[in-house]
């Protein structure tokens, strides 16, 4: 069984939404930071991919140590191999959707976009993907500006780009319209949110991080503040799923409204998420 590979380590998460029938299973990965080259790559592109991949062998270990997480020989594999293991796991587990919350690539470049398009195009299940701060806000055929929505029985998942520590006015307007429809909403994005309810936990558990790692409820940017407030205040928003910090954290935006922050997928982290009533 692929899930028994020592590369993987799992966190179990439950999102409770009143009225949802049965159990709906999702797999969430984030921060895979894939470095890749192919026959169309230049020598410079190949050298860059190799250099960045070697860098992450050190840095993903440092993140794991800082967060008290798993990091052994099994996790010290190339980012491309790690991503392909994650896709193979998703094929085995067959979640209702595979959720990828950004920094899928180490940096945006044609080779990486070709690779992601090919691999996700071959994936047999549903998936949702958002860009991270390491990527362009539009890459290949996988992501273009605008909120993306998948409907499930009794709830929706909306993918939104917050990779620049804000959202666009158009995306904020779309999210508000979705909330006005009243269908329970889970938001998939890249950068976590810091709200008054989770500030103390952020300071306690994320002491090695600064405001680069989250969008604050008191941000100067108007759309950033509006995004955080919408997630806090709208009864339609039931949970937020994100990444970016390279460590697993679960905290509440407000009491009863979870924020699930995934750890680094390139080091084997997998969030298994059950949505139930």
Number of structural domains found in the chain: 1
Give the number of other CB atoms < 10 A from CB of residue 120. 18
Per-residue CA distances from 244 to 43, 52, 133, 221 (Å): 30, 17, 8, 20
Q: Sorting pLDDT into bands at 50, 70 and 90, what band is 204?
A: low
CATH of the domain at 35: 3.30.750.180
Q: Is the pTM of this model over 0.85?
A: yes
Given a contact cutoff of 8 angstroms between Cβ atoms, the answer to whether 97 and 148 are in contact is no
Token code pair at residue 149? 């929505």
* pLDDT tens digits, one per residue of 41-90: 888 888 888 999 999 988 999 999 988 999 999 999 999 999 999 999 99
What range does the domain containing 161 cover? 2-276
Residue 247, pLDDT > 60, answer: yes
């Amino acid at each position: 069984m692929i899930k028994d590979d020592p590369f993987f380590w799992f966190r179990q998460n439950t999102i409770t939404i009143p009225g949802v029938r049965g159990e709906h299973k999702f797999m969430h990965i984030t921060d895979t930071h894939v470095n890749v080259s192919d026959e169309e790559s230049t020598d410079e592109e190949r050298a860059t991919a190799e250099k960045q991949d070697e860098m992450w062998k050190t840095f993903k270990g440092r993140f794991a140590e800082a967060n008290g997480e798993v990091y052994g020989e099994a996790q010290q594999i190339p980012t491309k191999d790690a991503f392909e293991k994650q896709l193979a796991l998703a094929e085995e587990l067959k979640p209702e959707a595979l959720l990828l919350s950004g920094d899928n690539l180490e940096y945006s470049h044609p080779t990486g976009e070709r690779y992601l398009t090919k691999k996700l195009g071959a994936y047999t299940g549903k998936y949702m993907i958002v860009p991270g701060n390491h990527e362009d806000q539009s890459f290949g055929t996988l992501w273009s500006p605008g909120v993306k929505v998948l409907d499930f029985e009794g709830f929706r998942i909306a993918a939104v780009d917050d990779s620049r520590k804000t959202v666009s006015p158009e995306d904020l307007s779309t999210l508000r319209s979705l909330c006005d429809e009243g269908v329970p909403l889970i938001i998939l994005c890249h950068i976590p949110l810091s709200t008054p309810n989770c500030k103390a936990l952020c300071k306690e558990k994320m002491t090695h991080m600064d405001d680069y790692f989250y969008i604050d409820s008191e941000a100067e940017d108007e759309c950033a503040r509006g995004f955080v407030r919408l997630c806090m205040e709208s009864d339609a928003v039931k949970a937020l799923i994100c990444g970016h910090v390279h460590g697993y954290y679960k905290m509440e935006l407000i009491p009863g409204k979870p924020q699930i922050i995934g750890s680094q997928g390139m080091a084997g982290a997998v969030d298994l998420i059950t949505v139930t009533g």
